Chains A and B, each alone.
Chain A
Amino acid sequence: MHKIIATKELAPKIKLFQVHAPNIAAKAKPGQFIILILDEKGERIPLTIAGFDDKKGTLSFAFNEVGKTTKQLGCYKEGDNISSIVGPLGNPSEIRKFGHVLCVGGGVMIAPLCLQIRALREAGNKITAVLGARKEDLLIFEQEVKRISNEFYVATDDGSKGFEGLDFLKTLVRTKKFQRVVVMGPVVTMKAVSEITKQYNIPTIVTLTPIMVDGMGMCGVCRVTVANETRFACIDGPEFEGHQVDFEELVNRQRMFLPEERTSSLLWEHLEGACHEKA
């Protein structure tokens, strides 16, 4: 059992939770993830670690309320318990001095990206950060990232804040000399950025979030094609070189259980009446 220490709404349907998990907090590194199970009948869902405090023994993660489990989790309050958390899983990000690093974050993945930016900054890198969201009110961690970056840009899909779309990155990548690019966000974002940086041959690290069950190499549902080889995101990743990833396959595989996920989510909303028990 892991007690929820604090909850925060970052944007509509995006929440940041801090939970008591001292052993995991003592070992967690940027880039790693956890898998949690809410209760006896719950599924195992992976979430990228967004922060840890070894002294307080806490761990934090952000999530988007899109499916049954995340919606249910969104109803949990401070003091509630999460049945199981396993981690830290996956390989930590490579943190060392690269020089000038472009960090692009989108949606909920901005939370773990912030953690990585902090580590890259401490390792002596110059950081240009680009944060994106569908629209202005969905943008999270803006002030936090702005504070720890050397240069900072915002982009939204509808242009409600900052640049409209990611096209401006083409100029940015051409004019600045980045030694490394880190992208954490939706597949479309990782794919778009990888395509831009490929022409300039800049190493581009993407964090893949395919479907997972055990998260420790046993089921193989998270398999992705990287450099024409099948790799498991859970134990070989989750970070890979973006220029080598088959994003199209990844998108198809992420959608494999979409009808079931919809059923589950709808049933939960109708039968459980979204949060009524926890309210």
Chain B
Amino acid sequence: MKKLRSKPKIKKESISMPKQKPEVRKKNFKEVALGYTEGQAIAEAERCLQCPKPQCVEGCPVEIDIPAFIRLLLERKFDEAIEKIKEKNSLPAICGRVCPQEEQCQQHCVMGKAGDPINIGRLERFAADYEMKRKAGTHSKQATNGKKIAVIGGGPAGLTAAADLAKLGYKVVIFEALHKLGGVLVYGIPEFRLPKKIVAAEVDYVKKLGVDVKPNALIGRLFTIPELLNNGFDAVFIGTGAGLPRFLRLPGENFGGIYSANEFLIRVNLMKSYAFPSYDTPIRIGNEVAVIGAGNVAMDSARSALRLGAEKVSIVYRRSKEEMPARAEEIENAEEEGIIFRLLTNPTRFLGDEKGWVKQMECLQMQLGEPDESGRRRPIPIKNSEFFIDIDTAIIAVGRTPNPIIQRTTRGLETTKWGTIVVNEISMETGLKGVYAGGDIVTGEATVISAMGAGKRAARAIHEYLHRKIRAC
């Protein structure tokens, strides 16, 4: 007689996801990670222990019922799986691609203690892509409760707030300053990491929920917040993000050939200058490109430069590999594609030619000292270690600061010395009645998912506020 065994042995290793080969992908802008097949998704879903008290959910900023959707995948109920995700997350195809799951849901996964955590992000992406391929769609909804909300900014925070409010029955209008919706998802993150048709499809889903979108509407200039409140909007959500480039403030930084990462990525992603002259917006890429910084934006810039045909692209970073803020996956992708890492290197000035074009960058060699206030070891210059790197293009990717236009044009809106908007941490309300804010405009530059989490909390807070308001009448 066969001995009774409680359960088949569960694989410790997660199922890897197919990717375009480095030597091929570094010459195109198509998506690098290709996504799980149905078989791979089921095999990965089989690894989930279906914990009664799931830790993963606690690591999710938008509180997706992760075990539930994985169970539905396992049962091959793909439509129900995506519905389960969409109860909490209106942009799953995006999150499945760009969320740092390794620091969120997956970090809490019990399976991670003795092997690989469940690859929740890839499963989320599979479910979302499955739905998109089938073109299954939500039917248009009509607003029911008679209240109107203005959402300023069509990025991750704004889209999430809008979707959640629409689901609650509000009439929502998104005011977006650029000509396309998506915020950083369309101007910042490159096509090869987040295809723009995926963003467009997710934006379409939000529109199908009944949300109205107004592109080319720069609030603060076209309409002010008081004007919105006086013209039929019951509440306002500000999700204008951190879109202003930070520069190094070094001599020679305004020479030609020196881009902010924002300019470089806006040209390439939003304006599609990789297809110039078929598209009108030009981009100039030299042979030797230095990208200053080592976050995700720096990796995106370096990898885009490579795809535009640069011969040699380096990441120039003043600390060591360990302190690099980019996701491990992105650093690995960059390394595979042949990006050079010049670590413990700090630029001190740029030198230009007679036409005002950058030709060299002076750098100092650094060493690491004691940890600083960020907890990372402080880089200290080594004396007399100056050296020059020949470059013809530099991309400055050292962070972004909040968009200032709303703050400059709205009386009574309290801001910090960093230019972020001050809100009540729990209610997310600003000092102005009925005006809420969330995402990078409140926290400073952070992640897509944290902005989405903020949009979600703000939607809930606005609902409570208006509910209160209704009852008080």
Categorize the interface residue count of chain A.
35 or more
At the interface with chain B, which of A102-110, A175-183, A198-206, A253-261? A253-261
Name the distance in Å between B273's Cβ and chain A's nearest Cβ: 9
Are B177 and A24 neighbours in the complex by a CB distance under 8 Å?
Answer: no
Are A235 and B282 neighbours in the complex by a CB distance under 8 Å?
Answer: no
Q: Which residue of B lies closest to A256 (CB)?
A: B256
Which residues of the partner chain A approach B283 to less than 8 Å between Cβ atoms? 260
Which residues of the partner chain A approach B272 to less than 8 Å between Cβ atoms? 41
Supposing A27-B221, A86-B218, A218-B266 touch, asked if A43 and B404 sit within 8 A by C-beta, the answer is no
Q: Once bound together, how far apart are the Cα atoms of A213 and B243, in whole Å?
A: 13
Are B276 and A221 neighbours in the complex by a CB distance under 8 Å?
Answer: no
Residue from the list B217, B243, B259, B282 in contact with A218, Cβ < 8 A: B243
Which residues of the partner chain A approach B278 to less than 8 Å between Cβ atoms? 41
Residue from the list B253, B281, B405 in contact with A213, Cβ < 8 A: B281
Q: Once bound together, how far apart are the Cα atoms of A219 and B263, in whole Å?
A: 4
Residues 369 to 408 of chain B near chain A (Cβ within 8 Å): 403-405
Q: Once bound together, how far apart are the Cα atoms of A86 and B215, in whole Å?
A: 9
Are B216 and A213 neighbours in the complex by a CB distance under 8 Å?
Answer: no
Residue from the list B218, B256, B259 in contact with A216, Cβ < 8 A: B218
B279 at the binding interface (Cβ < 8 Å): yes
Residues 241 to 279 of chain A near chain B (Cβ within 8 Å): 248-249, 252-253, 255-257, 259-261, 263-264, 267
A87 at the binding interface (Cβ < 8 Å): yes
B355 at the binding interface (Cβ < 8 Å): yes
Are A217 and B243 neighbours in the complex by a CB distance under 8 Å?
Answer: yes
Are A230 and B266 neighbours in the complex by a CB distance under 8 Å?
Answer: no
B271 at the binding interface (Cβ < 8 Å): yes
Supposing A86-B218, A217-B244, A220-B262 touch, asked if A261 and B405 sit within 8 A by C-beta, the answer is no
Residues 164 to 193 of chain B near chain A (Cβ within 8 Å): 177-179, 187
Are B245 and A220 neighbours in the complex by a CB distance under 8 Å?
Answer: yes
Are A235 and B405 neighbours in the complex by a CB distance under 8 Å?
Answer: yes
Are B405 and A217 neighbours in the complex by a CB distance under 8 Å?
Answer: yes
Name the distance in Å between A217's Cβ and chain B's nearest Cβ: 5
B284 at the binding interface (Cβ < 8 Å): yes
Are A216 and B405 neighbours in the complex by a CB distance under 8 Å?
Answer: yes
Q: Which residue of A lies closest to B243 (CB)?
A: A218
Are A213 and B249 neighbours in the complex by a CB distance under 8 Å?
Answer: no
Q: Once bound together, how far apart are the Cα atoms of A90 and B376, in whole Å?
A: 39
Are A89 and B355 neighbours in the complex by a CB distance under 8 Å?
Answer: no
A225 at the binding interface (Cβ < 8 Å): yes
Q: Once bound together, how far apart are the Cα atoms of A46 and B177, in whole Å?
A: 15
Q: Once bound together, how far apart are the Cα atoms of A43 and B278, in whole Å?
A: 11
B260 at the binding interface (Cβ < 8 Å): yes
Name the distance in Å between B353's Cβ and chain A's nearest Cβ: 10
Name the distance in Å between A268's Cβ and chain B's nearest Cβ: 8
Supposing A230-B247, A249-B254, A253-B356 touch, asked if A219 and B266 sit within 8 A by C-beta, the answer is yes
Are B403 and A217 neighbours in the complex by a CB distance under 8 Å?
Answer: yes
Which residues of the partner chain B approach A27 to less than 8 Å between Cβ atoms? 221-223
Are A218 and B267 neighbours in the complex by a CB distance under 8 Å?
Answer: no
Residues 354 to 374 of chain B near chain A (Cβ within 8 Å): 355-356
Residue from the list A88, A213, A235, A252 in contact with B267, Cβ < 8 A: A213
Are B280 and A41 neighbours in the complex by a CB distance under 8 Å?
Answer: yes
A23 at the binding interface (Cβ < 8 Å): yes
Q: Once bound together, how far apart are the Cα atoms of A85 and B177, in whole Å?
A: 10
Taken residue by residue from 65 to 109, chain A's Cβ proximity to chain B (1 for < 8 Å, 0 otherwise) reads as 000110000000000000111111100000000000000000000
A20 at the binding interface (Cβ < 8 Å): no
B52 at the binding interface (Cβ < 8 Å): no
Supposing A84-B216, A214-B178, A217-B404 touch, asked if A44 and B271 sit within 8 A by C-beta, the answer is yes
Are A87 and B263 neighbours in the complex by a CB distance under 8 Å?
Answer: no
Residues 1 to 57 of chain A near chain B (Cβ within 8 Å): 23-24, 27, 37, 41-44
Are A37 and B253 neighbours in the complex by a CB distance under 8 Å?
Answer: no
Are B284 and A88 neighbours in the complex by a CB distance under 8 Å?
Answer: no
Which residues of the partner chain A approach B247 to less than 8 Å between Cβ atoms? 220, 223, 230
Which residues of the partner chain B approach A43 to less than 8 Å between Cβ atoms? 271, 279-282
Q: Once bound together, how far apart are the Cα atoms of A257 and B263, in whole Å?
A: 14
Q: Once bound together, how far apart are the Cα atoms of A20 and B376, in whole Å?
A: 55
Which residues of the partner chain A approach B405 to less than 8 Å between Cβ atoms? 216-217, 235
Q: Once bound together, how far apart are the Cα atoms of A219 and B257, in whole Å?
A: 14
Residue from the list B254, B263, B276 in contact with A230, Cβ < 8 A: B254
Are A86 and B277 neighbours in the complex by a CB distance under 8 Å?
Answer: no
Q: Once bound together, how far apart are the Cα atoms of A261 and B281, in whole Å?
A: 9
Are A85 and B263 neighbours in the complex by a CB distance under 8 Å?
Answer: no
What are 26 of the A-B contact pairs (CB < 8 Å)?
Answer: A23-B222, A42-B280, A44-B271, A44-B281, A86-B178, A86-B179, A213-B263, A213-B266, A216-B177, A216-B218, A216-B403, A217-B403, A217-B405, A218-B244, A218-B245, A219-B260, A219-B266, A220-B247, A225-B254, A253-B254, A255-B256, A256-B257, A256-B284, A257-B282, A264-B277, A267-B277
Residues of B that sit less than 8 Å from A by CB: 177-179, 187, 215-218, 221-223, 243-245, 247, 249, 253-257, 259-260, 262-263, 266-267, 271-272, 276-284, 355-356, 403-405
Nearest 8 Cβ contacts at the A-B interface: A252-B356, A260-B282, A43-B280, A219-B263, A86-B216, A220-B260, A43-B281, A218-B243
